[in-house]
Chain A
Amino acid sequence: MSLPESQLERLETTVPVDVGDPEAVLGKSPTQLAMGRFRRDKLSMAAFVVVAVYSVGAVLAPVMVKLNVIDPLKLNQNLLDPSLGSIPKAKWGGISLAHPLGIVPGTGTDLLSRLWYGVTFSLTIALAASVLAIVIGTVLGIIGGFTGGWTDSVIGRFVDLTLSFPSTLMLLALSATGVALAAKVLPGSGSDPLPNGFYEVLVLGLFGWPPICRLIRGQVLSIREREFIDAAKLLGASRRRLYFKEILPNLWAPVLVSFTLTMPAYISAEAALSYLGVGIHPPTPTLGNILVDSINYSVADFTYFFFPALLIAVIVVSFNLLGDGLRDALDPKADR
């Protein structure tokens, strides 16, 4: 249902419109207008394509591992030089047909396979943590903003309290107990990705919701004064209906934007946490734990350092551009 750019421009600038093409005038929902605006933004579209490619890759990776097309765990230590700190014997990090991005020093595992599978774990963690943060933030934001008064104050102070926690420190300090607890509930232990990943998601999510909560509360404060809310109230709508049927649908724009901006933050957070020794440990790959190991080799084996760094940089930048683009498209009046 897209509109040629020239027509769209005409729509916005010239009133009344050319009646000769009624379809062009009718049926333009705010969503469609926003989509149109978004599509015209080439940078955002490029970012969207990159994010889509990563996402498809992330979904495909486990299948590829199952089908043995990629193997992130297979050792190829015969390709390493034990007299030089076990870096690849071949130049350029051991790039070859079998290993298009080279191999990992020490183990000789295929870097492409590890990065590809690593994207799956990194994106899953970031996605799960973002969803958690957004669900908590949105629900509390709606309740606080809509109810006002005493409830709002409590939630507001709770937001302040959470923000004042040194979250990184908490995450480090509690990691041993947290992971152990998670391991008790979940199958597997230690280097298994599940408990570590679960803990990481939990902490990122539990400390990530306050900004979202504040944003949503602000939106709700203006929405609750609108007529349709009064109408619903007069019709005797339940509180729950008001929250989730009347208000929530009007919030999807800020929620979507928060999501696209939380994702890159959590992807880099995963890398930072790997550096601090929290999070999923090798041999399970994540973009973070590959990057952390590769930093040491930035001189000895530059290719090994280059690819994970590039992959993280590209996805983080893309998500940020996508978020910015979405915000511009959904709320063109917003002052940037």
Chain B
Amino acid sequence: MASYRKKMLAVAAAASMSVALAACGGGSDNGSKSPGGSSDSAKGGTLYYYIFAALEHTDPQRTYVGRDITNWSRTVYRSLVTFPISDDAKVSTTPVPDLATDTGQSSNGAKTWKFTVKDGVKWEDGKPITCEDFKYGASRVFATDIITGGPNYIITYLDIPEDPKTHLPIYTGPYQSSPEGKAAFDKAITCDGNTITYNFKKPWADFPLAVASLHMMDPYRADKDQGDKSNYQIFSNGPYKLEGTWDKQKGGTLVRNPNYDPSTDSTDIRKALPDKITFDIGKTAEQITDQMIADSGQDKFAVTERRVPAAYYSQITGDIAKRAVTVTSPYTDYVVPNFKRMTNLQVRQALAASTDDTGWVTAGGGEKAYEESHDIVNPAVKGYQSDLFPAGAGDPEKSKQLLQQAGVQMPYPITFTYPSTATADKQAAALKAGWEKGGFKVTLNGVANQDAYYTDIQKPDQKADVIWAGWGADWPSAITVTAPLFDSRPNLTKNSNGQDYGAYDSDEFNALVDQAQNATDLDQQTQFLQQADQVLAKDVAYIPVDNAIFYFLHGSGVKNYMNTAASNGFPDLGPVGVK
């Protein structure tokens, strides 16, 4: 459930190259250039940020889209710890103190975490940020009927007893909860002056990573909370604040926050150079690209989250090319065999062997749109292994041999389900051609109604043999990739396959996930996760097809333009200036 929202968005993005990418977590800046990255920029001016689709939330606890998480981190929502600005992916995915004095102290086998809130940090109305504000922010996550759409890891981690009937915590959020629930929550998160303590029921070795990657642990002022009505409210504690209100269809403008004290912050996290930042919603990728190419008026000072459509690549030459950046994004696309239908291991191996990854990437627009993938875990994420899948154009001969050994009918009929867009249709055609060379007979099932795509593929009785899906790590650890996608226990129920679309069910894999989750040490955890991923590869639980590449243009007046791992590959608002 936690990552459902994020995946839903990720799919559309990867498939259409035009819808907002979601999810959170670390990215990579492999191959990222930062033109003018070293040049100095002065304060002042207005920066424009072009966005295609309306944001679903600006509420910190409900924000789950990678682009928004980092935009808010750099401008209005500070967290206990956060990721710094850096071209080096290692640095920019290592948490640094933000509102807290350090990156947290763990005890009790990573089951208890302690942070101290800095002195002198204030809300936009001048009131100090207290430990109670953090506690209140975390409490909102438990109101799962009102605060929807956001990540809710803490519901499963925080040490609160479960209701035996619903298997949900007895605490149900600040709006309505039983006294026992409230008492249990007060015990799980405690405040001692400026020191906040989190008590978990299982070890959470990478808790600071989760805090830095998401806004679920952000402070929230109880007197500003109107539940769902606060969905588009921005009550800032960062260098900017919202001017007027946020218009869902058009966006909004951030102006300087007079109550922000730069001495409590670091320029490694936010330089806050522009005087104003305007978020402009509603332009298509084609419109944005046309404007960026023309580079006139306010477009000179604009950045965007829209990838340049493949049809425009040939126009990006000369001076325009200097304003173009390619970044490896934290998002991976993959296909899963349906284990209820493709029960024969050799058939699945044949499928993997004949997968034409090169064709998929070429059909998707080539090397500026995608790169071939070897692992469902993105190269930027801890636990990545480059030797799990060979990628390339596939080996049809090997595939045929495997099918013959399996003794199945040839050509072996399969149905491939994917969300249909102009680009995805071409990519599917490329996969189909490869598989058919390898001895399969492929029926393509392109789902036109993308809003319902993930609901469709979660149905346990679905007829697809092979299913497309996309994913981005919530924070840069494989524990937010393979575990939520292939652990059968939380996923498979009578009515839904959850995120385990192929109904993969392996005790060997589940045991390794348990070992990883209970590991108190990050390296040890990564080892277990890598073993678990090898089990998946051995069983062909998935076949990775690409890592999405971000190809962005920006205006000529934008200085210090960077796409960092901290910003999930999107333009990083931390360093950027327009003067």
Contact = CB atoms under 8 A, between A and B. Distances in A.
B351 interface: no
A80 interface: yes
Contacts of A282: 422, 425-426, 429
Contact of A85 (B286, B314, B428, B463): B314
A283 to B, nearest CB: 4
B311 A297 contact: yes
Contacts of B312: 85, 299-300
Interface in B443-472: 443-449, 452, 463
B313 interface: yes
A281 B420 contact: yes
A278 B423 CA distance: 16
Interface in A223-265: none
Contacts of A104: 426
A282 B367 CA distance: 23
B430 A296 contact: no
Contacts of B444: 190-192, 281, 283
A270 interface: no
Given A81-B366, A105-B310, A190 B286 contact: no
Contact of A296 (B311, B361, B415, B420): B311
Interface string A291-318: 0110011011100000000000000000
- The winner among B311, B366, B449, B452 for most chain A CB atoms within 10 A is B311
Contacts of B422: 282, 292-293, 296
Contacts of A278: 448
Interface in B506-550: none
Interface in B55-81: none
A159 to B, nearest CB: 31
Interface in A188-208: 188-192
A175 B448 CA distance: 9
Contact of A75 (B359, B443, B449): B359
B427 to A, nearest CB: 8
A190 B447 contact: yes
B442 to A, nearest CB: 10
A57 interface: no
B369 interface: yes
B310 A191 contact: no
Contacts of B362: 77, 80, 82, 86, 106
Contact of B429 (A189, A283, A292): A283
Interface string B409-448: 0000001010010110110111011000000000111111
B557 interface: no
B128 interface: no
Chain B residues touching A, range: 35 or more
A191 B420 contact: yes
Given A83-B367, A107-B363, A191 B315 contact: no
Given A191-B425, A281-B425, A85 B445 contact: no
B319 to A, nearest CB: 18
A176 interface: yes
A297 B422 CA distance: 12
A85 B369 contact: yes
Interface in B356-404: 358-359, 361-369
Contacts of A281: 420, 425, 444, 446, 448
B461 to A, nearest CB: 14
A85 B363 contact: no
Nearest to B427: A106
Interface on chain A toward B: helix, strand, loop, or mixed SS? Answer: loop
A308 to B, nearest CB: 13
B309 interface: yes
A83 B426 contact: no
Interface string B294-320: 000000000000000111111100000
B426 A296 contact: no
- Looking at B365, B422, B447, B452, the one whose CB has the most chain A CB atoms below 10 A away is B422
A189 B415 contact: yes
A277 interface: yes
B430 A300 contact: no
Nearest to A177: B449
A73 interface: yes
A300 B315 contact: yes
Contact of A73 (B310, B315, B368, B429): B429
Interface in A161-215: 175-176, 179, 188-192
B313 A85 contact: yes
A84 interface: yes
A84 B430 contact: no
Contact of B430 (A77, A81, A176, A192): A77
A76 to B, nearest CB: 10
B445 A283 contact: no
A278 B420 CA distance: 11
Contact of A283 (B366, B367, B369, B432): B432
A106 B445 contact: no
A326 interface: no
B429 A83 contact: no
Nearest to B285: A296
Contact of B446 (A82, A105, A190, A299): A190
B368 A188 contact: no
Contacts of B367: 82-83
A59 B286 CA distance: 38
A87 interface: yes
A190 B315 contact: no
B424 to A, nearest CB: 10
Which of B309, B312, B362 lies at the interface centre, i.e. has the most chain A CB atoms within 10 A of its CB? B362
Given A176-B452, A283-B432, A296-B286, A77 B363 contact: yes
Contacts of A105: 310-311
Interface in B306-352: 309-315
A231 to B, nearest CB: 56
Given A85-B314, A283-B444, A296-B311, A277 B420 contact: yes
B445 A176 contact: no
A81 B367 CA distance: 9
Given A85-B366, A282-B425, A296-B309, A175 B449 contact: yes
Contacts of A293: 422
Contact of B310 (A75, A85, A107, A179): A85
B268 to A, nearest CB: 35
B165 to A, nearest CB: 35
A73 B422 CA distance: 15
B189 to A, nearest CB: 44
Contact of A299 (B315, B364, B366, B429): B315
Interface in A78-128: 80-87, 104-107, 109
B366 A86 contact: yes
Interface string B483-527: 000000000000000000000000000000000000000000000
A277 to B, nearest CB: 5
Name, among B313, B366, B452, the residue most crowded by chain A CB atoms within 10 Å (CB to CB): B366
B448 A176 contact: yes
Given A75-B359, A283-B425, A296-B422, A84 B366 contact: yes
B178 to A, nearest CB: 41
Given A86-B366, A175-B449, A281-B448, A77 B359 contact: yes
Given A86-B362, A106-B310, A188-B443, 8 more contacts: A85-B365, A86-B363, A87-B310, A107-B426, A190-B415, A191-B428, A282-B425, A292-B422
7 contacts: A83-B366, A86-B363, A105-B310, A189-B415, A190-B420, A191-B425, A191-B428
Interface of A: 73, 75, 77, 80-87, 104-107, 109, 175-176, 179, 188-192, 277-278, 281-283, 292-293, 296-297, 299-301
Nearest 6 pairs of A and B residues by beta carbon: A190-B445, A82-B366, A85-B313, A85-B310, A191-B444, A296-B311
